[in-house]
Structure formats: structure tokens, C-alpha cells
Chains A and B, each alone.
Chain A
Amino acid sequence: MSTAKPAAGTAAHSVVEPSATSKRVAATLVILYAVITMVPLAWIFLTSIKSPPDSISYPPKLLFTPSLEGYCNLFTTRTRQTPEYIAALPPPENTCDAVTRERNMVIAGPSNFLPRFVNSLIIAFGSTFLAVGLGTLAAYGFSRFKVPLADDLLFFILSTRMMPPIAVAIPIFLMYRELGLSDTAIGMMLLYTAVNVSLAVWLLKGFIDEIPREYEEAAMIDGYTRLQAFRKVVLPQATTGIAATAIFCLIFAWNEYAFASLLTSGSAQTAPPFIPTIIGEGGQDWPAVAAGTTIFLVPILVFTILLRKQLLRGITFGAVRK
């Protein structure tokens, strides 16, 4: 840690090498904060495996019998039937059938959750692919060549992210209505690509700047063209950076709500505007909402853990690299 140790007595209490007590106090406070901050997330998961009566009991229940009703309700629509009708049915085919019948209901069909979730997947992955592809090319261009007005162009690319989404949505809404792109996956993909490409260019330019130019120049002396050198030398070197950038773009597109809620309503609607609309009989079906939220959040949890080393760079547009 410290290269030069000054007088041994003073170093023991310095900021450089904290004392055991200060470490213990710090650990206690940080762990306390971490636990409190996890409570809402733990509550989402717990609610998703509660039965609806358990979920709305007071005081809030910590101990309960787990139930799959939330997940069943998330994926199905149900209709109420008379007990006689249900008694006359053949035995339930699966857990969801059984759970639903206990509430005097039968499954009428699939809900919209799965198609909305698939929309989220298609739009998020499609736009990420486009944004990272375009972003890698542009970042290489800005990194390696003298582009006239490069600083202005880069700032312009960044400034597109400063606009409030609703302000952007007004003309986009009109433009998409004219072009027939309203409520289409292509329209949403293009829009998210445009928003993400600014992040991608800034991040990737930082990553490519770190690859020494000499590598490509050596390859070009060996007879590669500039394009071959880009493909065979630069791209493999930039893999980590490209992957990190892709995950950031994916998370943005996955989480986005403002554009999705204003520009999609039916066939291209993504999960974020859909999940809040999940209702049961007599109000919001909280276990189903929690189930949808849990399924929606799990990929992000995985990505966050994968990304933790690059997180700082991503959230500051490469301004802080550590």
C-alpha cells in the first residue's frame, strides 16, 4: 500500500493505514447501510412468493407459506366461475390450475406479460447491437483520424443525452406517426440506438484510445490494409471495452420507460410500461406485480455483478477511469 513507511508510531492511526477500531466502525456502518438498502429489493422478492391475502396483511408478514399464485397470475388471465362449475372440471393439470381454482377461478388464457417481456428482449438486444456497432466504428474514427471539428462533433453527440426525454418525445411522436413507426419494434430500436450511441461513442473512444496505435501500424507494415488491421488487431484488443459498453447500452434500453410509455401502447410495448398496469380483482395485484418485477430485475442483477469493475467508467461517460 504505502511505499515509504514514516515513523512507525504515527502511521498506525493515519488515513493511509486505518486503525482496527476505525475499520470496525466503518464496516458496521457500511454493512448497516447495505442491509437497509436491500430491504426494498428483498421485499419485492418476498411479495412475489406470497399469496394475495398474505401480501396485504397488517402488520406485514415475514413468515408465510410460499405460494406461486403471483407468478401464475402474472402469466395468465382468469375468469370467475361457480363452485359447481369448478367441481365438475377434470383434475387440475398443473400447479397454476390448482392455485387458480382455489380462488374459484379458471385460467382463461395467457396474459400479455410474456409478449411484452419478449418485446423488451428484442428491442434491448437489437438497439444494443446497432448502437455498439455504429459506436465502435465512430469511436475508432474519432480515436485514430484527424476529424475536422472532432471536439464539436463529440460534444454534440454527448449533448443529445442532456435533452429531457419528454421534450424529445414530442417531435419523435409526430415523426413516427407520419412514418408509420408508432408502436413498432423498429421505431423503438432506432430511438434507443440513437440515445445509446452517444454513450457508446464516448466509452469506446476511451477504450480504443488506450490501445497503442503502434499495433495497427505494425500490422499495416506487414501488409494489412487499414480495415484488416481494424478487424484483426483493434477489435480483439477492444473486446472487454466493447462488452462493457454493450452491457451499459443493454441496461439503458432494458430499463427505459419514458419513451416506451409515450410511443408504444400495444404490439411493441415493453415490460416497464406494462408491469405497473397489472391489476387483479379490486386493485393492483401486488404479488403478480412483484413477480413481474423480480423476473425483470434478475438479468440486471447478474449484469451489475459482471460489470462492477467497469461500472465507474460507464456511469461517468468515461470521465473517471480509475
Chain B
Amino acid sequence: MNSSHQTFAEKASRLATEAAVRATPEPLAKRVRGFSDRAIAWLFIAPTIALLLAINIFPLFWAIYLSFTNYRANRPNAEVRNIGLSNYSRILNDPDIWASMQTTAHFVFWTILLQTVIGFGLAYLIDRKFRGHAFWTTLILIPMMLSPAVVGNFWRFLYEPQIGLFAYAVSFLTGIPTSDIQMLGSVQLAPWAIVIVDTWMWTPYVMLICLAGLRSIPDYIYEAAEVDRASPWRQFWSITVPMALPFIMLAVLFRGIENFKMFDMVNLLTGGGPGSTTEVASIALKRDAFEAWATGRSSAFAIVLFVAVFGLANIYVKALNRVKQR
């Protein structure tokens, strides 16, 4: 409708604006037609914040509220009573919960240790820049992009003592009979079964970050060390490790948070078993929330976990920043 008139008006106003802008380029934002910058900033950011409020923050507050009640999701019509802090005191005094925290701690400790050592070692080797290193690096990276659930599920087959490839390979190399290699059935071996799969999947992650760290060290530092006749050993410990440390610490932070939350791979591989030997915190939480349906108590547990991740991550980031500034 009236397109020619509008175009004309638009052109005129644009010419006027342009003239004005050319005459006084400052302040730009006020002269330009359309929304003000403030309105655009608000318009652009608001939908994301709204979504996060609806799907993350509102449920979080709901969980905080539920954690003070005796609510059970499988009895929606039962009377909900406020029971104060008793869910929290039960959580913090429950030996099973502490056992699951300990299982998580062991899992996080061993996976991070193995992944850091192997990942850094691999990065160091790849940094020798041998021919074809880019191709082999890409190949090594593949496991970490795959679904931990779907691949973890297949590891159940690899771990089968009678027919699985893992037991066969170990037995072939060590002579231990396959019937003794009950990776998922034995109380001693099951914790290592999940550590092995996690290390297989996530070592490339640590490797990739370490590689970036090694590549960030400028050549002239090594050249100066050469001039000073520093031994390769000395160069490794006084240049390579300290300068790559912020990167290693970053990798440890990300892996630490991820493995503290670990659910999918362990749930499919062992389901927390045998008994509760691999029942990491998330699995204990799932059993409490979606099998025992103790919604109030499990909400309290969830809040405790969240505060723990958040607190630990914050302390760690402070330490990381101190290392970076050195």
C-alpha cells in the first residue's frame, strides 16, 4: 500500500539522516533510525534469559522449596508438609549417601589422574610434529564426540567375560583365565571398568587442551634455554610443564565437573552395581528420586550436590587464576 510514497518518505528521511550523520558523526547511536541500542540489547538478550528462567531457575527454586517438604511425586494427592531441615540432616547423616560421594570421589580422582597423564603424554608426543600427526590426532579425538550412553552400552558387550573382546585380549596377554575377568560382575573390578571406559572416551579431551598449551609456548624460550645449555629434562620441568599448567588445570576443571555429574555411561554399564560398588552420586540420586520416589529428600540431595559442584568449581577457578597470573 502506498509503497511509492513510503519509499519516497523513507528516502527523504534517510537522506536527511545521512546528512545529519555526516555533519555530526557523534553520537552515532542517537542519530540512526530504528530501535535504540538499548532496546535492541534488551530485545536480543531477553528471550534467552526468559528461557533460562523458565527451564532452569524456576525449577531450581521449586526444588529448593520441595527440599523442605515430605513431597512424593508418586503420591501427588497426599498432603505436603513442611518438615524444615530434616531432609538435609538425613542426607548429611546417611552413610549410603556418603558412600556414593566417596565412590564419586574415587571415580573423579582416578579418571582425572589417568586422563591427565596419558593426555599430556600424547599431546607432548604429537607436539613433535611428525609427519601425519594431524590425521592421527583427528582419529584419536573421535571417542570423545560419541554418545557416552550408546557407546557405554556397547562396552557391556566388550566386557562380557565369556564372549567379550576385552576379557579375551587381557587373557591372551596375561594368561589370566577369562572367567576371572568379570569386569562388571566383580566388586573389585567394576569400579575400574567405569574408569577404563571414561579414560578411553575422555583422554582425547585432555590431550586437545594440553596440545593448545604446548603450542602456546613461544619457541624463543626454548632457544634461550638451548643457549644456556639447559638439559632437555631441565627444559621439560622448568619450561614445558609450568607454561602448560594453566591449560592442564583448565582440562582438569572441565573433566572434574563433568565426572562429578557422571550419569549416562555408568548407568548403562553397571547401573551402579554390583550391589552399590559403582553407585556414583548421580545414580544414587536417580534411585532416590525416580525409583524410591522420595522427591523431597532427593531434592535436598540435588541441592547439596549443586552447591558442592558450584563451591568446588569456584575455589578451583580462583586457584587457576592465581597460576595464570604467575
- By a beta-carbon cutoff of 8 Å, the part of chain A in contact with chain B is 1-4, 6-7, 10-11, 13-16, 18, 22-27, 29-31, 33-34, 37-41, 43-44, 47, 55-60, 134-135, 137-138, 140-142, 144-147, 153, 156-157, 159-160, 162-175, 177, 190-191, 193-194, 197-198, 201, 217, 220-223, 225-228, 251, 254-258, 261-262, 271-273, 275-276, 284, 286, 289-290, 293, 296-297, 300-301, 303-305, 308, 311-312, 315-316, 319-320, 322
Contact = CB atoms under 8 A, between A and B. Distances in A.
By size class, the interface of chain B is 35 or more
B276 to A, nearest CB: 16
Contact of A164 (B28, B220, B260): B260
B27 to A, nearest CB: 12
The 4 closest A-B pairs by CB, nearest first: A225-B34, A167-B302, A257-B149, A171-B59
A261 B263 CA distance: 11
Contacts of A40: 143, 151, 154-155, 158, 165, 200
Given A58-B168, A157-B52, A223 B263 contact: no
B219 interface: yes
Contacts of B44: 137-138, 140-141
Interface of B: 14, 17-18, 21-22, 25, 28-29, 32-35, 37-38, 40-45, 47-49, 51-52, 54-56, 58-60, 62-63, 66, 73, 122, 125-126, 128-133, 136-151, 153-158, 162-165, 168, 178, 200, 204-205, 208-209, 212, 215, 219-220, 222-223, 226-227, 229, 232, 235, 240, 247, 250, 254, 257, 260-261, 263-264, 267-268, 281-282, 285-286, 289-290, 295, 298-299, 302-303, 305-306, 309-310, 313
Contacts of B58: 171, 175
A228 B268 CA distance: 49
Nearest to A31: B136
Contact of B47 (A11, A137, A167): A137
A311 B208 contact: yes
Contacts of B55: 172, 190-191, 193-194
A248 B214 CA distance: 25
Given A137-B44, A225-B35, A226-B32, 13 more contacts: A2-B219, A34-B136, A34-B140, A37-B143, A60-B163, A160-B52, A162-B309, A171-B58, A220-B28, A221-B28, A276-B268, A296-B147, A312-B209
